[in-house]
Structures are given as structure tokens and as C-alpha cells.
Amino acid sequence: MRLSIGNLVIKFNDNPFLGPIEAVFDSGCLNLIVGRSGCGKSTLLKLIAGFHKDFTGAVSLDEDYFEPEGNVALAFQNPESLFFNSSVFEEIAYSLSVSGDNKDSIKNHTESWMKKWGLDPELYSNKYPYKLSGGEKRRVALAACTILSPKIILLDEPLAGLDRVGQSDLAEIIYSLSQEHIVIVVTHEPELLMQKDSRILYLNDKDTAQYSSSEFLSKAVIDNDFYPLPEWYSSTLRSYAQFYDLPMVNAEAVAEYLESYNNESASGN
């Protein structure tokens, strides 16, 4: 599945705000959107979801005109602030229960979706949503937003405000979700979500462009103002940045990269 946006200009009150944007978002890999606060990241998600209608250009799904209708889910920032049910099960099953399906099929569907989000139905179904930890609340909220299993899943800052364990658990789930859905994530922590095959859409009023992970990392390592990656990563890899095959942003990957690079240059001598 591929969602494409072509020659897209986001407008406010008919005035151009950002664009033109060219980008493709595929299922099978994770699609990230990064940029400064206020640059239009969240608005782009709302536009894809059909809430922001002030734009010109085209959005298409697998070459067809894309009509956002029942095929897309958008989770806003801090989605757990919208809990309104007294148990985790009711919260997650809500959209199904209003669809009029029979009870058994709702139960089966909800329980298998909960497992996908790392929420064991036996442990979590009857819990009160507000008594969960930050990471658990976030997973319940995102499971509830996506229970109808739409083709396109849009997440706005899903990792913000979670502790490290919560972040890495959720990052894993989001990645596995991207194998079957078109998942587009707005984030200030691309380094925690990025995989070798991820695509990064960099939004900026001057140089909006879509990059592969390695292009993005090289560009950011060379120019800290383009995108400030963690200091330890940029300073360690600055002299390697021209090679376009930089490792992912974690200690193990960087150590392995440095080792293999040093071995190669030693054998070359």
C-alpha cells in the first residue's frame, strides 16, 4: 500500500503556509515526519485524516484519489487524556460496540487487538484506565484509536512524556504495526523509532524533503542546525558522515559500525 502526496500546499485562510510537499508513505516500513514546533507536522496529519481541508495538490492511495473515510485513524498528542470508560476493555472496544457487532465477535476482536499492543486481556481488561502507568495508558489509548484496523494510522508524538522503558516498548509495537498498515508518525525523537528502511519527511519553510534514514543521519551529523541529533552520536560520527551508511542511533549499532570500519581500514593497510 502506498499513500502519495503530490504538489501539496497546506493553507490557512487560503494563504499558503507550507509546501509544495512531495512524499510517499508505504506500508512495510515506518514513515516519520520531523521538524520544528509549529512547522506544520500536526496539520499535515490532520490534512491526511480529512480534518484540514484548506490545501491544494493531490493525496492518493495506490494511484487512486484518496478519500479519508473510515480508512484512517489519527491519534492526537496525549491521547490518554480522552479516556471516558471505566475499564480498559470498554475503552478499547468502544468503537466496535457502537458498530452493533455481536458481543462474542467484539470480545474476540478486542482481545486480539489488545495483545498486539502488549496488553494481556486477562491482566488488563478490567483495570481502570487512569490507574495504569504512563506507558500502559498510552498503549490503551492508541489501541482504542486504531481498533477498527484502518489502512492508514497517523500518530502524533506517540513517545512524548513516556519513560525510556515505555518508549522502547511502544516503538517496537509501532514498528510491527507498520508492516501491515501505512503508519505515519510525527515525532521529536526520530532516533528512537528509525530503522534502516524508514523514510523521514523533513518539514521546513525552506527545504522540505523526504529522506532515507541514512541520508537524513548524514545530513544531520554534518549540520547540527538541520536536525540536532544527540550530541554523543554527532560528535562520534562526524568524520564518517560522508559515507552515507551511518548506523542507527544506539550505542550497540555505533560500536559495531566503528569496529567494522576500523577493521576494514586496518586490513586495507
Partner 1 sequence: MILFDRVSFCYNANQETSFYLKEVSFSLNKGVINGLIGINGCGKSTIARLIVGLLKPTEGNINFKNDEGTPYYFSGMIFQNPDNQIVGTTIGDDIAFGLENLNLPTENIEQLVVKAASLFGFENMLDMEVSKLSGGQKQMLCIASVLALEPNWIVFDEPTSHLDPWARIEFWNIINFLVTQSNIGIIVISQLPEDINRFQHITVMDKGSICFNDSSEKFKMLNELPKGIDFPEGWKLERLLTKNK
Instruction: Figure out which of the listed residues 134, 173, 212, 240 binds partner 1, where binding follows CB under 8 A.
Output: 134
Pick out residues in 167-206 that bind partner 1 (CB under 8 A): 188
Report if residue 249 touches partner 1, rule: CB under 8 A: yes
| Helices assigned H by DSSP within the chain | 41-49, 88-97, 103-116, 121-124, 134-146, 164-177, 190-193, 213-222, 231-237, 251-268
Q: Quote the cell numbers at residue 23.
A: 512524499
Instruction: Figure out which of the listed residues 2, 164, 196, 238 binds partner 1, where binding follows CB under 8 A.
Output: 164
Instruction: Figure out which of the listed residues 63, 122, 207, 225 binds partner 1, where binding follows CB under 8 A.
Output: 225
In the complex, the smallest distance separating the C-beta of residue 42 from partner 1, rounded to whole angstroms, is 11
Find the part of the chain contacting partner 1 (CB under 8 A) among 95-103, 107-115, 131-139, 174-182. Answer: 131-139
Distance CA 195, CA 138 (A): 22
Instruction: Figure out which of the listed residues 228, 243, 244, 245 binds partner 1, where binding follows CB under 8 A.
Output: 228
Closest CA to 10 of 77, 50, 70, 57: 57
Peptide bond into 247 cis (omega under 30): no
Report if residue 258 touches partner 1, rule: CB under 8 A: yes
Find the part of the chain contacting partner 1 (CB under 8 A) among 7-15, 21-29, 115-123, 249-257. Answer: 249-257
In the complex, the smallest distance separating the C-beta of residue 256 from partner 1, rounded to whole angstroms, is 9
Q: How far is CA 233 from the centre of its chain?
A: 22
CB closer to partner 1 out of 77 and 149: 77
Taking the alpha carbons of 157, 225, 178, 209 in that order, is the dihedral positive or negative? positive
Pick out residues in 21-60 that bind partner 1 (CB under 8 A): 35-38
Residue type, 228: P
Burial class (CB in 10 A: 0-12, 13-18, 19+), 112: exposed
Instruction: Figure out which of the listed residues 63, 122, 207, 252 binds partner 1, where binding follows CB under 8 A.
Output: 252
Distance CA 69, CA 29 (A): 23
Find the part of the chain contacting partner 1 (CB under 8 A) among 88-96, 102-110, 114-122, 156-164. Answer: 156-164
Instruction: Figure out which of the listed residues 161, 172, 176, 195 binds partner 1, where binding follows CB under 8 A.
Output: 161
**Number of residues engaging partner 1 in binding (CB under 8 A):** 30
CB closer to partner 1 out of 78 and 95: 78
The four Cα atoms 244, 249, 255, 260 give a dihedral, to 10 degrees, of -20
Report if residue 87 touches partner 1, rule: CB under 8 A: no
Phi-psi region of 92 (alpha: psi -120 to 50; beta: other; left: phi over 0): alpha
CB closer to partner 1 out of 47 and 186: 186
Binding site for partner 1 (CB under 8 A): 35-38, 131, 133-134, 160-161, 163-165, 188, 225, 227-233, 236, 249-252, 254-255, 258-259
